[in-house]
Amino acid sequence: MITAIVGITFVVSYFIPHFPFNRMDAWFADWFSIIQACAIVLGALNLLKLSAQKVIGKKKDWGYALVIILSFALITIVGLSEGSDYRDPGTGFDWLYVNMFIPLSATMFSILAFFVASASYRAFRARNFEATLLLIAAFFVMIGRVPVGDVITGFMPEGWRLSDLANWIMDYPQTAGQRAIMIGIGLGVVSTSLRVILGIERAHIGSGE
């Protein structure tokens, strides 16, 4: 019932952006944000509970669980104590963000380059025509995105170098495939959303027990 009312309101407010639907749309959007804030409390409490259980029970690697609790406490206390201007340059929160959060997240994502490269080395085999197409497209996009690609094809006229080929692959065949996928996803999301709004799909609220 709640799901249906909220879902239908959002749909109707798109087509009739006038009172009362526009007002309800704004309220629902605000409530959504407030619930989000409470949901992160739930997530944080869960993380702290699991970490505290590890520390109290002196389980394996409990020291790292303690580090999780301490680092969470550090940034939370600093962030909450600084008021709503917590993100301004020069604040303690900004310092922790720039000197801890950014280096850690950037490095964490950058090491994926090694894992992706090693996984692709093991998995990529030109077994058939489709796999060869994938391999060739990946190769040309990668080599076309680095200066050496244009150095190798420097003798070719402008517009025919490896960087141009990489751009062409990204702009045309890649865009075409991406569009087919996006339209497919779009139609899938629309049908799933309709099922949810109409109450056909209700797994999210449990079995009703």
Residues 44-73 that bind other proteins (CB under 8 A): 44-45, 47, 61, 64-65, 67-73
- Residues 6+ away with beta carbon under 8 Å from 185: none
Residue selected from 16, 56, 100, 151 as contacting other proteins according to rule CB under 8 A: 100
Compare residues 61 and 154 and give the one whose CB is closer to other proteins: 61
200 touching other proteins, by CB under 8 A: no
Q: How far is the CB of 10 from other proteins (least distance, A)?
A: 3
- Residues 6+ away with beta carbon under 8 Å from 52: 65, 69
Residue selected from 18, 58, 60, 204 as contacting other proteins according to rule CB under 8 A: 204
Residue selected from 52, 55, 137, 163 as contacting other proteins according to rule CB under 8 A: 137
What is the Cα–Cα distance from 28 to 10, expressed in whole angstroms? 8
Cα distances from 169 to residues 46, 124, 136, 173, in angstroms, run: 45, 19, 11, 6
Q: How far is the CB of 187 from other proteins (least distance, A)?
A: 6
Cβ-contact 21, 36 below 8 angstroms = no
Residue selected from 16, 138, 151, 156 as contacting other proteins according to rule CB under 8 A: 138
**Residue indicated by tokens 């669980």:** 65
Q: What are the helix (H) ranges across the chain?
A: 2-15, 21-56, 62-81, 92-96, 102-110, 112-123, 129-144, 147-152, 162-171, 173-197
With CB under 8 A as the rule, give the number of residues binding other proteins.
117
151 touching other proteins, by CB under 8 A: no
153 touching other proteins, by CB under 8 A: no
Q: How far is the CB of 45 from other proteins (least distance, A)?
A: 7
160 touching other proteins, by CB under 8 A: no
109 touching other proteins, by CB under 8 A: yes
- Residues 6+ away with beta carbon under 8 Å from 88: 94
187 touching other proteins, by CB under 8 A: yes
126 touching other proteins, by CB under 8 A: no
Site for other proteins in 15-44 (CB under 8 A): 27-44
Residue selected from 16, 17, 59, 101 as contacting other proteins according to rule CB under 8 A: 101
What is the Cα–Cα distance from 205 to 209, expressed in whole angstroms? 10
